[in-house]
Homo-oligomer: A and B are copies of this chain.
Amino acid sequence: MKLSASGLGQQAAHEGENKCLNSELWHACAGPLVCLPTVGSRVVYFPQGHSEQVAATTNKEVDAHIPNYPNLPPQLICQLHNVTMHADVETDEVYAQMTLQPLTPEEQKDTFLPMELGIPSKQPTNYFCKTLTASDTSTHGGFSVPRRAAEKVFPPLDFSQQPPVQELIARDLHDVEWKFRHIFRGQPKRHLLTTGWSVFVSAKRLVAGDSVLFIWNENNQLLLGIRRATRPQTVLPSSVLSSDSMHIGLLAAAAHAAATNSCFTVFYNPRWASPSEFVIPLSKYIKAVFHTRVSVGMRFRMLFETEESSVRRYMGTITSISDLDPARWPNSHWRSVKVGWDESTAGERQPRVSLWEIEPLTTFPMYPSLFPLGLKRPWHPGSSSLHGIVPY
């Protein structure tokens, strides 16, 4: 077992896994809304959210079998000691590993609260993402590159040759090199990737509906990522793992860490969690919970990621504010806001969101602010010490 230099006992990354160095590529594959908190900053951890994620992986409801952890609050304020970005060797699935240390009430009180809002995720500008068509993934042909994308992202072709051809080299998350023949031909003229494309498709087991990303990083390297379509049920290949055990394990680890002031490790898969995360920057939490007035009937905006990995704003109205699970996680702010969505695609949007996910339209409220939440539901998890710091 490796320990880091800080000596805090945080868990080393699993041996044998590739460390992801291409931060841009990781963020691009994770999605435009991903924003990891800064190492050394403070975050809020929601056991409830993490449990939801575990349950989601096995498509099973959280059952009542699990023991109670009465000393485990619905949210833990933690010091973030480490963030490591990973990509699964088999599937290229990206995820982050965080080492968290719950703070004692003492520590929570002692320190000032710098308003760090996390690393602004390095959203690459010079990149494109395309969802693969049946023709793209068939063995019959190559990859049809959208014209604007090719002109913006790919190196310019030498149009003196006919047809113009060049070799593209791109690296994936595991630093594996992929070579493609990029040609501009056909009638009408178009950009195509031919030789090298099919081996990439079969190696990554891509199917129609999955997406590929081409990105330039700061070091002038062309990066290549994939994003798989959300399939109905990705069967967990981990045969020995019981989701109950994982669920219990997460709760037990968090509770133990909180009780002994030690570290615990959580894994964060942005493709699953987004947009409802379970580790968020403390400053974001405080701003949303204590400095923002929210009430039933209020209008709000919220960012969502589309299939094409762009960002869209959706509008909605707050219909009620209450605990998601009053029995097991009383006074948790996680997904405490019930909302109604404006558009007809409302069925696809989740009916519950968290305060820090939405952007209230306070300037034009549809109804008068009857019950400002920030005043009615003060800080509670045994650490009223924060009251002195956060004025409201």
Interface residues of chain A, those whose CB is within 8 Å of chain B, are 1, 9, 11, 14-17, 53-54, 57-61, 63, 65-67, 86, 88-91, 93, 95, 233, 235-253, 255-256, 260, 262-269, 272
CA of A15 to CA of B238, assembled, Å: 14
Q: Is the CB of B240 within 8 A of A237?
A: no
CB-nearest residue of chain B to A57: B240
Q: Is the CB of A241 within 8 A of B240?
A: no
Q: Is the CB of A235 within 8 A of B67?
A: no
Q: Is the CB of B245 within 8 A of A250?
A: yes
In the complex, the count of this chain's copies comes to 2
Q: Is the CB of B65 within 8 A of A9?
A: yes
| 14 CB < 8 A contacts A-B | A1-B60, A9-B65, A11-B63, A67-B252, A93-B239, A95-B240, A239-B269, A240-B267, A241-B246, A242-B253, A242-B265, A244-B249, A245-B246, A248-B252
Residues of B within 8 A of A15 (CB): 59-60
Residues of B within 8 A of A263 (CB): 65
Contact A239/B267 with A244-B11, A249-B250 known, Cβ cut-off 8 Å: yes
Q: Is the CB of B65 within 8 A of A262?
A: yes
Determine which of B1, B14, B91 lies in contact with A63 in the assembled complex, contact meaning CB atoms within 8 Å: B1
Determine which of B238, B244, B250, B264 lies in contact with A237 in the assembled complex, contact meaning CB atoms within 8 Å: B238
CB distance from A383 to the nearest CB of B (A): 22
CB distance from A295 to the nearest CB of B (A): 36
Q: Is the CB of B237 within 8 A of A88?
A: yes
Determine which of B247, B265, B269 lies in contact with A249 in the assembled complex, contact meaning CB atoms within 8 Å: B247
Q: Is the CB of B237 within 8 A of A245?
A: no
Determine which of B86, B236, B249, B260 lies in contact with A246 in the assembled complex, contact meaning CB atoms within 8 Å: B249
CB distance from A18 to the nearest CB of B (A): 10
Q: Is the CB of B238 within 8 A of A238?
A: yes
Residues of B within 8 A of A235 (CB): 16-17, 89-90
Q: Is the CB of B253 within 8 A of A248?
A: yes
Q: Which one of A57, A240, A262, A264 has the greatest number of beta carbons of chain B within 10 Å? A: A240
CA of A113 to CA of B63, assembled, Å: 33
The 10 closest A-B pairs by CB, nearest first: A249-B249, A245-B249, A238-B238, A67-B256, A240-B267, A248-B249, A252-B252, A95-B239, A248-B252, A90-B237
CB distance from A78 to the nearest CB of B (A): 15
Residues of B within 8 A of A11 (CB): 63, 65, 242, 244
Q: Is the CB of A240 within 8 A of B269?
A: yes
CB-nearest residue of chain B to A62: B1
CB distance from A49 to the nearest CB of B (A): 13
Residues of B within 8 A of A66 (CB): 256
CA of A166 to CA of B50, assembled, Å: 55
